[in-house]
Amino acid sequence: MTCLPTGRDDVRLTGLPMQTPPDVLNLLDTGLVRWKGGKPQGLIEPPSIQGTKTIAEIVAEDRR
């Protein structure tokens, strides 16, 4: 299934097959990534932020 934007505030699922990029297949083959379905659990210990800026401030600054 593939999600296609409709130009409104929603998307439509289609039966078009989605091809997996070769780089992703390489990561799967080497065992660097894996997915068994479901949502990602996240990190047990997320990285700490150095300094006084929030992540939102860092991202906003990086996008300028």
pLDDT tens digits along 44-61: 888 888 888 888 898 999
With beta carbons less than 8 A apart as the criterion, state whether 30 and 17 touch. Answer: no
> Which residues, listed in sequence order, are joined to residue 2 by a DSSP beta bridge?
14
**Measured at the alpha carbon of residue 4, what is the angle toward residues 56 and 10, in degrees to the nearest 5?**
65
Domain ranges of the chain: 1-34
Instruction: Using 70 as the pLDDT threshold, list the residues of the chain that sit under it.
Output: 1-8, 11, 13-17
Task: Give the pLDDT of residue 60.
Answer: 92
Nearest alpha-carbon partner for 62 in 43, 50, 42, 54: 54
The amino acid that residue 44 corresponds to is I
Task: Give the pLDDT of residue 54.
Answer: 87
Task: Give the pLDDT of residue 7.
Answer: 67
With beta carbons less than 8 A apart as the criterion, state whether 2 and 13 touch. Answer: yes
